[in-house]
Amino acid sequence: MSSQEEVFVGSIDQGTTSTRFIIYDRSARAIASHQVEFTQFYPEAGWVEHDPMVILESVRVCIAKALDKATSDGFNVEKGLKAIGVTNQRETTLVWRKSTGVPLYNAIVWMDARTSSVCRKLEKELAGGRTHFVETCGLPISTYFSAVKLLWLMENVDAVKDAIEKGDALFGTIDTWLIWNLTGGVKGGLHVTDVSNASRTMLMNLKTLDWDASTLKTLGIPAEILPKIISNSEVIGNVTSGWPIIDIPISGCLGDQHAAMLGQACRKGEAKSTYGTGAFILLNTGEEVIQSKHGLLSTLAFKLGPKAPTNYALEGSIAIAGAAVQWLRDSLGIISSAKEIEDLALQVESTGGVYFVPAFNGLFAPWWRDDARGVCIGITRFTSKAHIARAVLESMCFQVKDVLDSMHKDSEEHGEGEKEKEFLLRVDGGATVNNLLMQIQANLLGSPVIRPADIETTALGAAYAAGLAVGIWTEEEIFASGEKVKTDTVFRPVLDEQVRKKKVESWCKAVTRTFDLADLSL
């Protein structure tokens, strides 16, 4: 590409609570963006849903507004836009009619816990219990993953049963839903998903990178409703009429956490933590699938082209991180905006012995307890809303530490113990603008935390994948970006080691208090 030619890549970042469209230039600099929040539905305790049509409209609005902003700033995006990348909230599941494009039920969100009974039934019936599918897909049986959400829809929604019987049903995660609609919908829309999103369904074989026939047979899921699995970086198809952009190739697709890994340019042995609605820590393990013995998941990192090598990862998923701040704002009214929590928490020097465990819908890694529910303990008459706010921030950091401790143990047992000392935690996501949160994280880890200048690495990763497929960037350029750390902010630990150990012990006690609290009558 000529250095004189204006070249842009767009990135659709469809998250749990909001959608964004960001436009990047040839230097991977964001030149325009727009973000839209959308409604969360909580029909019953532990249930979380999204309206798929609202998500589509949010994407449409974000694209149009970002294009307007770029144009008004003098960028010729209409001529220079060469590719679109897609990144999305993973595991969120929906089924729609192939003939009409109408969703047959709301999208069931990744953190939704309604499938507890489905999981218990499978654990009792299958050899190996909750680990029955781990050897194949790297995942335990859990409410988290798409397969059990699909089973719930098949068992409980008559419209889904009917559409499957008539051959008129399509299953997908949000990436699949977006790409199908962007490439034509009922008029020839492409029914695809990428390897990273497919790896979160419980249905894909990690070695073959295809739907696992024995798993489908065991669960009774028809292969006909599943999308085709593709790599993370290849030309999928062009955006069709009816959208603010037309005939632009969609050439990158990754689940949000995998996109963040690419945006952070994580090579083998490097880890990142994304702080959003939840928190997600991934360690690139290279071209080898490593089975965790300490509560982590084996998953895909990325596959940057149909013939490119597959990078795998160990992952620790945390259900509630930034969502706990939203809870303080929306449900308790302790703050009126998310950014206020830092100033409130800075009013006190500690939590005053308060520990908050946000097990709203259970606990993910490394505990995997869907019977857990949230607790706030250590409260005295001295406790103020500032102490609780600080305890909420600490809860995010404790959970990340739990996951990193498991990663260290797995690395040691896999013969890579020396690398533990070299672990660098790269962080990204909206919550990382909170300097206090980042300092607490460094204090509890006892090691530095590195925040990049551009914290929106999820959208950047999707842009990288899209641009790579059409020749805007090379793989070497993308990974070289991770070495440019001059504008990064480094947070170094300042907490006494004995104090750290005592706090971690108290946190672990608090976590055990959450177990077996789920009200099964709900």
**What is the full per-residue pLDDT of the chain (522 aa) written as tens digits?**
334 578 999 999 999 999 999 999 999 999 999 999 999 999 998 899 999 999 999 999 999 999 999 999 999 888 999 999 999 999 999 999 999 999 999 999 999 999 999 999 999 999 888 899 999 999 999 999 999 999 999 999 999 999 999 999 999 999 999 999 999 999 999 999 999 999 999 999 999 999 999 999 999 999 999 999 999 999 999 999 889 988 999 999 999 999 999 998 888 888 899 998 889 899 998 998 888 888 898 899 999 999 999 999 999 989 889 899 999 999 999 999 988 999 999 999 999 999 999 999 888 889 888 889 999 999 999 999 999 999 999 999 999 999 999 988 887 777 654 444 445 788 988 889 999 999 999 999 998 999 988 888 899 999 999 999 999 999 999 988 655 555 689 999 999 999 999 999 999 999 999 999 987 544
Question: Cβ distance 33 to 25 under 8 Å?
Answer: no
Q: What is the pTM of this model?
A: 0.87
DSSP label at 217? H
CA dihedral 179, 464, 438, 407 (to 10 degrees): 80
Three-class SS state of 209: coil
Query: Closest by alpha carbon to 316, among 400, 392, 394, 396?
Result: 400
Measure Cα distances from 272 to 3, 125, 192, 457, 482 in Å: 32, 37, 27, 11, 12
Q: What is the pLDDT of residue 271?
A: 86
Question: Cβ distance 258 to 475 under 8 Å?
Answer: no
Q: What domains are defined for the chain?
A: 8-256 (3.30.420.40), 265-451+492-522 (3.30.420.40)
Quick one: 286 exposed, middle or buried, by C-beta within 10 A (0-12, 13-18, 19+)?
middle
Helices 435-445/497-512 angle, 10° precision: 100
Q: What distance in Å separates the CA atoms of residue 151 and residue 500, rounded to the nearest whole number?
A: 43
Q: What distance in Å separates the CA atoms of residue 396 and residue 444, rounded to the nearest whole number?
A: 11
Q: Specify the DSSP element, H or E, that contains 302.
A: strand 297-303
Measure Cα distances from 478 to 23, 80, 102, 213, 251 in Å: 17, 20, 38, 36, 16
Which tokens hold the place of 260?
């963040």
Q: What distance in Å separates the CA atoms of residue 407 and residue 314, rounded to the nearest whole number?
A: 8
